[in-house]
Structure 1
């Protein structure tokens, strides 16, 4: 866990083993406030799988599940469930290639 990383857990944020979290990463299981009156605040658990690498300034939104071995590129926004063992990039983060070496990183 690097400097400036934040975890906002209204309900649940689960982080697996051997996870790398870069500077300025935000893990949020809540939107904090409603956008449209009467719609309520969106809250959903966040799950970060084993061996994940969240690079600098990644934002993980409510309900996201980051699969085992996934690498999320700097500045990306994760929503939904990117496939395991991929490099995901963008806003929203989408797979750009497979991770060549599966298994525990050293």
Structure 2
């Protein structure tokens, strides 16, 4: 999982082909660690996603830009374009369904 910050966030995601999931986390967030591990396991098992992490405490500007009010918060990008926040219970099948449903809709304007 690659770490993004305010200096490389937009540039890296713009150049990332395919589906990218960005998770906003915090250093003391147990739920964040669980979701990161789950997503990493899903990618290791074959999900064709690129995973990125933003430390919301360190990069408050990005957290404000994406209106992150709770951790973890997930956002979906495809081929460098923002699609939407991703809301799903932290279960593999629920996450897969949420990704598919979100990608079936048109991309949105980034916050």
Structure number with higher helix proportion: 2
Instruction: Find the structure with the greater CA-based Rg.
Output: 1
TM-score bracket, shorter-length normalisation? 0.3 to 0.5
Q: What is the TM-score when the length of structure 2 is the normalising length? A: 0.31
Q: What is the TM-score when the length of structure 1 is the normalising length? A: 0.32
